[in-house]
Amino acid sequence: MAVTKETQLPKPIGPYSYATLHKDLIFVSGQIGIDPITNALKEGIEEQTIQIFANLKVILKDNGSDLDHIKKTTIFLTDINQFETVNNIYTKHFSDQFPARSTIVVVALPKNARIEIECIAVKK
Could you tell me if 73 and 99 are in contact, meaning their C-beta atoms sit under 8 angstroms apart? yes
Could you tell me if 55 and 65 are in contact, meaning their C-beta atoms sit under 8 angstroms apart? no
Q: What is the pTM of this model?
A: 0.94
Q: What is the CATH number of domain 6-122?
A: 3.30.1330.40
Taking the domains of the chain in order of start, what are their residue ranges? 6-122
Mean pLDDT computed over 21-28 = 96
CA distances from 80 to 5, 70, 87 (A): 33, 23, 11
Closest CA to 103 of 69, 74, 71, 80: 74
Please tell me whether residue 99 adopts helix, strand or coil conformation.
coil
Residue 48: which residues within 8 A CB-CB, separation 6 or more?
A: 32, 33, 41, 42, 113, 114, 115
pLDDT, one tens digit per residue, over 69-114 is 999 999 999 999 999 999 999 999 998 799 999 999 999 999 999 9
Mean pLDDT computed over 49-77 = 97
